[in-house]
Amino acid sequence: MRQIKKTVKLLRRSPYQALAAGLAMTLTFFVASIFAVLIIGGQIVLNYVEQRPQVIAFFKDDASQTKINDIIAKVKSTGLAKDVKYVTKEEALAIYRERNKDEPLLLESVSADFLPASIDISVNKAGDIGAVTQAVKGEPEIERVITPQNLVEQLVKWTSTIRAGGIVFVTALLAISFLIIIMVVGMRIALRRDEISIMNLVGATKWYIARPFLAEGAVYGVIGASISTFLIYALLLIYSRSIQNFLGPIQVFPISPLFFIYLWVGEALLAAAVGVSGAAIALYRYLKIK
Amino acid sequence: MIQFESVTKKYPNGQIALEDIDLKIEDGEFVFLVGPSGAGKTSLLRLFTREIWPSAGRILFNEEDILKIPSSKIPYLRRKIGTVFQDFKLLLTRTLFENVAVPLEVVSKSEKEIEETVSGVLEKVGLLEKADMFPAQLSGGEVQRTAIARAIVSKPSVLLADEPTGDLDPKTALSIVKLLEKINEEDKTTVIMATHNAQIVNHFKKRVVYLKNGKIEKDEKEGKYEAD
C-alpha cells in the first residue's frame, strides 16, 4: 500500500513527464494492437480461403468412371491434398439449383448433362496449389482446371508484409518508448538526488531506493497497454459492421472477449517489462550511490 | 567499540586528509573531535560510515572490519550509526515529522510504529509541537535539533555529529550539545562530535581528540581545547 502511495506521489510530482511517458507507451501499444488485429484477421481470411477447395478440375463429358477414379487416386498419391471430393453431374446440378433457387429462369433449361463432373481438391498448404494443378492439368480427361492461386498467393504475401512491417514498426516504437522511460526516470532521479543521498546515508538499501522508480516504469507500461487495448476494442466495436460487410462470408465477428483479455495481458506484460527495463537502465546510469 | 588502526586517507588530488591514525573509542563514550578546518575531522567520520575509503589501515566496529563488509551490507552498518551532518541534509519539501521518519521508512516500519517513535523523539528534542512545520520555518537551533532527532530515531549505538553547533549562537549551541550529552547518558549511545568550538568543548570536560594536519596531536580524557 505504501509502495502504491509512493508511486502515485512520484507520478504527481511531475505530471507532464508522466504524461509523455504514458502517451509514448499508449501509442506504441496501440500501433502494436492494430498490427496484431491485422495479422490475426489476415490469418483468419487466409484460413478461410485455404479451407475452400482450392483446385477444381472439371472432367470431359466422355471421361469414364475408371479414369476418374485413377485421377483421384493420382491426386491423393501426391500427398499434397488434404481432401479430394468427387462431384458428379447430378451433384453439380443440385449445387447449381441450390445456388440459383431464387432465379427460376436459370433453372428451367438446365439438366445434369449440361454440367460437368468435377473433383474439388483442398491442399495442405497454399504453396502446393501449383503442384496439384500441374498434376491434374496434363490428364486428357480433364477439360478445365480453375484455381484461386493468385488470391491465396496475394493473401500470403500481404500477411507476411504486414507481419514484417508490424515487427519493424512496433520495434522502433518500443525503442522510442524505452528511451523516453530512461529519460523520464533519469530526470526523476536527478530531481530526487538529495532525498536519495539522505536515504542512502541513513541505511536504505539500493533495492529500497530503486523500487519506486521500477514501479513507476511498470505503471507507465501497464497504463499504456490498458488504454491501447481499450481503444482497439472500442474501434472494433464501432466498425464491426463495416468490416464484416467488407469481408462478406468470412465470419470474423463477434470477436471473443478472450482475445482482448489475452491481448491486454500480453501487452501489459511486455509493456511492464519495457518500463521496468527502461527504469533499471536509468537507475544504473544515474543512481550513483556509495 | 570503534577502532581506527593506522588509517591513512589520501584523496586523488594528492591531499592527505588523515595520516596513520590510531584511535580507540569505547562503547558509551562521548568524544569531542577537535581541530582547525581541514584537520581531517569530517574525513574521519565519513570513513566510519564508509562514505569514503581509506588509503591504508583498518577500521573496526565491534571487532568487525567495516572495510570487509560487502557494499550490499553497508546499509545495515549505517542503520547502527546515526549521523548529524554539517549541512543538516534535511529535505526542505518534507515536514519535520516526515524528515525524522526517513530512517524508519527505509527499514519498512509500520505507520503506527513510525508515528509513535517519531513523536517520542520529537518530544525528546523539544519539537513535538512543530512536527508539521517545514525546515524553512524553523530557527537554526530547531533545524539542528531536527537533524539530531532524525539521527537518533532508529536508536543507533553510535551518533556522529559533524559541527552541529556551526552557525548557532552560544546559548543555542550549548543547548544542542546538552541534548547530545543527554542522549549519550540516557541511551548509552556513543557520541563522536566534530567541532572547533573551544568554548563548548571546554564547558563539557569530555574526552578530546585533537587533530591537526591529518594527525592526532593530543588525546586527553577530560581535555581542553584552545582554538588555533
The DSSP code for A239 is T
Determine the distance in angstroms separating the CA of A2 from the nearest CA of chain B, rounded to an integer: 9
Specify whether A28 is located in the same domain as A70. no
Determine the distance in angstroms separating the CA of A188 from the nearest CA of chain B, rounded to an integer: 15
Share of chain A above pLDDT 70, in %: 96
* A194, A208, A290: residue with CB nearest B106: A208
Contact B6, B56 (CB under 8 A): yes
Residue B32: what are its φ and ψ, rounded to 5°?
-90, 130
Per the model's pLDDT, the better-predicted residue between A99 and A207 turns out to be: A207
Specify whether A97 is located in the same domain as A226. no
Specify whether A174 is located in the same domain as A215. yes
Q: Do A202 and B76 touch (CB under 8 A)?
A: no
Return the residue in B89, B109, B110, B152 with the most chain A beta carbons within 10 A, the one to mutate for interface testing. Answer: B89
Peptide bond into A254 cis (omega under 30): yes
DSSP 3-state of A135: helix
DSSP assignment of B164-225, as one string?
A: TTTT--HHHHHHHHHHHHHHHHHH--EEEEEE--HHHHHHHT-EEEEEETTEEEEEETT---
CA distances from A113 to A56, A67, A93, A109 (A): 18, 19, 9, 11
Residue of chain A with shortest Cα separation from B110: A2
Specify whether A122 is located in the same domain as A184. no
Instruction: Choose the final residue of a domain: A147, A180, A195.
Output: A147
- The alpha carbon of A226 is separated from its chain's Cα centroid by a whole number of angstroms, namely 18
Distance between CA atoms of residues A215 and A6, nearest Å:
9
Q: Do A203 and B89 touch (CB under 8 A)?
A: no
Q: Do B91 and A197 touch (CB under 8 A)?
A: no
Instruction: Choose the final residue of a domain: A96, A123, A147.
Output: A147
Specify whether A161 is located in the same domain as A18. yes
Return the residue in A202, A206, A208, A287 with the most chain B beta carbons within 10 A, the one to mutate for interface testing. Answer: A202
Q: Do B89 and A201 touch (CB under 8 A)?
A: yes
Instruction: Choose the final residue of a domain: A106, A124, A147.
Output: A147
How many structural domains is chain A composed of?
A: 2
Specify whether A60 is located in the same domain as A19. no
Specify whether A44 is located in the same domain as A162. yes
Q: Do A194 and B91 touch (CB under 8 A)?
A: yes
DSSP 3-state of A272: helix
Could you read off the pLDDT tens digit of each residue along chain B, which spans 228 residues?
999 999 999 999 988 999 999 999 999 999 999 998 888 999 999 999 999 999 999 999 998 999 999 988 999 999 999 999 988 899 998 999 999 999 999 998 999 999 999 999 999 899 999 999 999 999 988 999 999 999 999 999 999 999 998 878 888 899 999 999 999 999 899 999 999 888 899 999 899 999 999 999 999 888 788 766
Specify whether A136 is located in the same domain as A159. no
On whether any CB of chain B is under 8 Å from the CB of A27, the answer is: no
Q: Look at residue A267 in the predicted model and tell me its pLDDT.
A: 92
On whether any CB of chain A is under 8 Å from the CB of B79, the answer is: yes
Contact A220, A272 (CB under 8 A): no
Q: Do B76 and A195 touch (CB under 8 A)?
A: no
Spatial strand order in the sheet of B64-65: B16-25, B2-10, B56-61, B64-65
pLDDT in tens, A176-221: 989 999 998 898 888 888 889 999 999 999 999 999 899 989 999 9
pLDDT exceeds 60 at position A290: no
pLDDT exceeds 80 at position A3: no
Domain boundaries, position A66: 53-147
Q: Do A203 and B76 touch (CB under 8 A)?
A: yes
Contacts 24+ apart (CB under 8 A), A152-157: A152/A46, A152/A49, A152/A50, A152/A54, A152/A126, A153/A126, A155/A42, A155/A45, A155/A46, A155/A49, A155/A126, A156/A46, A156/A126, A156/A127
Specify whether A185 is located in the same domain as A264. yes
Q: Look at residue A289 in the predicted model and tell me its pLDDT.
A: 58
Residue of chain A with shortest Cα separation from B47: A290
**Hey, which residues 157-196 in chain A have their CB within 8 Å of chain B?**
194-195
Length, in residues, of chain A: 290
| List of chain A residues whose C-beta atoms are within 8 Å of the C-beta of residue B72 | 205-206
Residue of chain A with shortest Cα separation from B79: A203
Q: Look at residue B91 in the predicted model and tell me its pLDDT.
A: 92
Determine the distance in angstroms separating the CA of B91 from the nearest CA of chain A, rounded to an integer: 7
Q: Look at residue A2 in the predicted model and tell me its pLDDT.
A: 67
Specify whether A42 is located in the same domain as A124. no
Specify whether A166 is located in the same domain as A240. yes
Q: What is the CATH number of the domain that holds A135?
A: 3.30.70.3040
Taking the whole predicted model, whether its pTM rises above 0.95 is answered as: no
Other residues' Cβ atoms within 10 Å of the Cβ of residue A112: 14
Residue of chain A with shortest Cα separation from B53: A290
Specify whether A267 is located in the same domain as A227. yes
Average pLDDT over residues A103-113: 75
Q: Look at residue A81 in the predicted model and tell me its pLDDT.
A: 86
Return the residue in A193, A195, A198 with the most chain B beta carbons within 10 A, the one to mutate for interface testing. Answer: A198
Other residues' Cβ atoms within 10 Å of the Cβ of residue A250: 14
Q: Look at residue A53 in the predicted model and tell me its pLDDT.
A: 65
